Amino acid sequence: EPSLSESVKLHRLSDSDSGIIEVTLDRPEAKNAIGNDMLGGLRHAFEAIDTDSSAHVVLISSSVPKVFCAGADLKERKKMTASEVHSYVNHLRSTFSLIEELQIPTIAVIEGAALGGGLEMALSCDLRICEENAFLGLPETGLAIIPGAGGTQRLPRLVGKSIAKELIFTGRRIGGRDAISMGLVNYCVPAGEAYPKALEIAREINQKGPIAIRMAKRAINEGLERDIASAFDLEEECYERILNTKDRLEGLAAFAEKRKPRYTGE
Ligand code: CO8
């Protein structure tokens, strides 16, 4: 596959896993800090994935031991003018929104540090799997800034207002076990097991009706932003969209014939 930037690799799994796409952060010398090159690479990767109807689920992983992502690149930041910082942060925000609004599910594989913008990226994903020795935090207030790429909004929506405030006000790093008890991650597993766990979940999703998965994600994400009556309307609209699919008929046929369905995304 083409390399999109030095620090972001895009890879499609093979054979029956070919609906699974892996985006790997690969900038060991800076612990996957998000510089301009990585930001451009992330944007290209997710734009490509969003227009690929054969992509069904995305893993976001790191090739760097003990690190998911160290957040914004603080060395590049130091050299930026005020207007460059402004445009960098806007680019970071819109890239994380692109991840969040991707039509297909995304899973962050957190094998180590997920800090600042690194945790904000993971918060933009649908699911998070971490290892026991991972640590997560939003240290921004210690740098006299606030989480500016969605952290003040996505964290409280995920773990509640009170816990989000404690994590943001103190900037404290928490371990994987605390993260699971707060509902910040879906699973906390022993070292070395996050990737296999994420792959197991990706495979489960990959076998489902692709349009159904897209509609389910849309109904949940957009519905949570609406009042309940209009959220039910949205569910109905998403349901209507799957009624006319070939895959729905294939699902019924497979059930009747006691075999596995073969979905085509039509
Ligand atoms: N930016 C740039 N370089 C970094 C960063 C970073 N965020 N993190 C690590 N590096 C570099 C180090 O400077 C070091 O470089 P060098 O070899 O030249 O000294 C190299 O990576 C290795 O780092 P360490 O020696 O520290 O490696 P360790 O394995 O001991 O520790 C950690 C790894 C835990 C990741 C540690 O490096 C760390 O704590 N990094 C800082 C993490 C941090 O504070 N991140 C938050 C940044 S703020 C942010 O993301 C805000 C985003 C929202 C923007 C909105 C603003 C308005």
pLDDT digits (tens, 9 = 90+) for 240-251: 999 999 999 999
Residue closest via CA to ligand 1's atom 57 equals 148
Q: What is the mean pLDDT of residues 254-263?
A: 95
Q: What is the mean pLDDT of residues 114-119?
A: 98
Residue closest via CA to ligand 1's atom 20 equals 30
Mutation choice for ligand 1 from 7, 25, 26, 31, CB with most ligand atoms inside 8 A: 31
Cβ atoms of 8 and 23 within 8 Å: the answer is yes
Residue 41 pLDDT exceeds 80: yes
Chain centre distance of CA 3: 20
Domain ranges of the chain: 8-206, 210-256
Cα separation, 25 vs 43, in Å, equals: 13
- Residue 234 half-sphere exposure, CB side, CA atoms within 13 Å? 17
The predicted structure's pLDDT at residue 5: 87
The predicted structure's pLDDT at residue 103: 98
CATH-assigned architecture of domain 210-256: Orthogonal Bundle (1.10)
117 lines ligand 1 (CB under 6 A): yes
Residue 1 pLDDT exceeds 60: no
191 or 2, higher pLDDT: 191
Which listed residue (45, 72, 134, 198) is catalytic? 72
75 lines ligand 1 (CB under 6 A): yes
pLDDT digits (tens, 9 = 90+) for 12-28: 999 999 999 999 999 99
CA of 71 from ligand 1 middle (Å) equals 7
Cβ atoms of 38 and 84 within 8 Å: the answer is no
Which atom of ligand 1 is least distant from the CA of 118?
A: 50
Cβ atoms of 58 and 19 within 8 Å: the answer is no
Residue 223: pLDDT band by 50, 70, 90 thresholds? very high
Q: What is the mean pLDDT of residues 223-245?
A: 97
pLDDT digits (tens, 9 = 90+) for 122-160: 999 999 999 999 999 999 999 999 999 999 999 999 999
Cα separation, 266 vs 264, in Å, equals: 6
pLDDT digits (tens, 9 = 90+) for 166-189: 999 999 999 999 999 999 999 999
Q: What is the pTM of this model?
A: 0.96
The predicted structure's pLDDT at residue 26: 97
| Active site annotation includes 240 | no
70 lines ligand 1 (CB under 6 A): yes
Cβ atoms of 54 and 14 within 8 Å: the answer is no
134 lines ligand 1 (CB under 6 A): no
Residue 3 pLDDT exceeds 60: no
Complex-level ipTM: 0.95
Which listed residue (120, 198, 202, 212) is catalytic? 120
pLDDT digits (tens, 9 = 90+) for 62-113: 999 999 999 999 999 999 999 999 999 999 999 999 999 999 999 999 999 9
The predicted structure's pLDDT at residue 2: 52
Domain 8-206 class, CATH top level? alpha beta
Closest CA to 93 of 121, 69, 127: 121
| Active site annotation includes 120 | yes
